[in-house]
Amino acid sequence: MKLVGPFRQVLTMSNMPVNGALHDKQLAIIKEGGILIAGNNILEVGDFEQLQLQWGKEASLVLLEGDQVALPGFIDCHTHIAFAGNRANDFALRNAGSSYLEIAAAGGGIWSTVSHTRDCNVEELIDLTIQRANFLLRQGITTIEVKSGYGLNVKEELKILRGIQKSDRRTASDLIPTCLAAHMLPRDFDGSAKDYLHLITTDLFPLLKSEGLSNRIDAFIEKTAFQGEDIVAYLRKAKEMGFDLTIHADQFTTSGSQIAVELGAQSADHLEASTAAEIELIAHSATVAVALPAASIGLGCGFTPARKLLDAGACLAIGSDWNPGSAPMGQLLTSASILATAEKLTNAELLSALTYRAAKALNLSDRGVLTKGMKADFSLFKTDNYQDITYYQGSLQPTAVWKNGQEVFSI
């Protein structure tokens, strides 16, 4: 056993509702606290001196000096970090006035990244994925969802998902793989969208199950990607096979969120285009609304209506959407803090969106809260006031990160 402390504050994020608006007074804060660890999990969180008196003879002490605040490890519930190449030219063209469709027609967009990722061998892809995962880990992010979707055929999607699986074994973070083979209709596919989706369900889905590569299926529902009955049938088949669903929904046009709710998707992500009708639909469902503010920043468009979603009763999570096109910054806390400023989110709403509500978006019940039995995943910030973490908008970085009861990063 280990006893870590004393912390000036421990934000446990415990006993807070999963849905709806939150006030900062609802935050459970333990002053001069300690975290008692047994193996990978938390045994107890409480007053440090009392824990030391009770467990001092049995637990090895990890004594902290100075001001430190502890938070549950952040959970990034939406990333695309398994890719090769970059799209700096797309960014320059977009800022110069070119549209998304114009850039795609000129050889940019998603297909550009598909080409680079296909040309990348699996070991190179693993190295790139690990570098990005460790970059996020140093930000206090201990669980990272990682999508495929830059392969767009059975062989290349398998390469990416096998690469994510191998990367997971070589980084301290937990990588949660998601199959996004329905990212766009590949330009080199000789057939219809229906034909392509059928091929993925028959040739790829069984291998995902047999190799344990992913239990999550995502789809980009948009005019430029997939829509209508073809994608609904694809997602129904995935659900019949036992996969969890998540949807890229309402980024530019609506319809995706309705499909997500009707099919019982774990989350509907993006939602920048959601109107009052979609907000009410999501708020009265079990589907988590995932805001991706870095994409709004990268594209220069409006943010997800986070305030309205929360006030309507939705569960809101926030992801980085780290990808080479619309969200290249890879800074979860910075983008979340900017969203909070724009949408008037409380600290409790912001931090819950990065911890236990993000865990719900991934259907994970063993993390996101610092209480007995949960994973001992937490980060230390050099301050005596947790408010500084969001106040500095990401420039206050962790001094140490713990994962599964072990210190995996420190400065």
Query: Which residues have CB under 8 Å from 182's CB, separation 6+?
Result: 149, 197, 200, 217, 218, 219, 220, 225, 226, 231, 234
How far is 248 from 230, CA to CA, in rounded Å? Answer: 16
Identify the pLDDT of residue 371: 98
Domain ranges of the chain: 2-72+368-410, 74-362
Collapsed DSSP state (helix, strand, coil) of residue 37: strand
Mean pLDDT of the chain: 97
Identify the pLDDT of residue 105: 77
Nearest to 260 by CA among 233, 235, 296, 295: 235
How far is 234 from 278, CA to CA, in rounded Å? Answer: 22
Please give the model's pTM, rounded to 2 decimal places.
0.97
Question: Residue 408 pLDDT more than 90?
Answer: yes
Token pair for residue 80?
């695309």
Identify the pLDDT of residue 108: 87
Identify the pLDDT of residue 47: 98
74-362 domain in CATH 3.30.1950.10? no
Q: What share of the chain is helix, strand, coil (3-state, %, to 5)?
A: 40, 20, 40
Identify the pLDDT of residue 310: 99
Question: Residue 350 pLDDT more than 90?
Answer: yes
Question: Residue 301 pLDDT more than 80?
Answer: yes
Rounded average pLDDT over 63-69: 97
- Reported as a pLDDT band with limits 50, 70 and 90, residue 103 is confident
Identify the pLDDT of residue 56: 87
Collapsed DSSP state (helix, strand, coil) of residue 10: strand
Question: Residue 367 pLDDT more than 90?
Answer: yes
Identify the pLDDT of residue 346: 98
- Reported as a pLDDT band with limits 50, 70 and 90, residue 251 is very high
User: Tens of pLDDT along 181-221?
Assistant: 999 999 999 999 999 999 999 999 999 999 999 999 999 99
Question: Residue 384 pLDDT more than 90?
Answer: yes
Min mean pLDDT across 77-81, 89-93, 228-232 is at 89-93
Rounded average pLDDT over 163-185: 98
The superfamily (CATH) of domain 2-72+368-410 is: Urease, subunit C, domain 1 (2.30.40.10)
Strands (DSSP E) found in 48-148: 60-63, 69-72, 74-76, 141-147
User: Tens of pLDDT along 128-150?
Assistant: 999 999 999 999 999 999 999 99
Identify the pLDDT of residue 164: 98
Please state the φ and ψ torsions of residue 218, each to the nearest 5 degrees: -120, 160
Strand order in the sheet with 174-182: 74-76, 141-147, 174-182, 216-220, 244-249, 267-270, 288-291, 316-318
Give percent above pLDDT 90 in the chain. Answer: 96
Q: Are strands 216-220 and 174-182 parallel, antiparallel or unpaired?
A: parallel
Question: Residue 101 pLDDT more than 90?
Answer: no
CA 222 to the chain's CA centroid: 21
Question: Residue 161 pLDDT more than 90?
Answer: yes
Count Cβ atoms below 10 Å from residue 132 Cβ, excluding itself: 21
List alpha helices for 110-192, DSSP H: 110-119, 122-137, 154-168
User: In the block, which residue shows the tokens 């199959």?
Assistant: 179
Identify the pLDDT of residue 96: 93
Rounded average pLDDT over 2-10: 98
Identify the pLDDT of residue 68: 98
Question: Residue 107 pLDDT more than 90?
Answer: no
Amino acid residing at 392: Y
Rounded average pLDDT over 269-296: 98
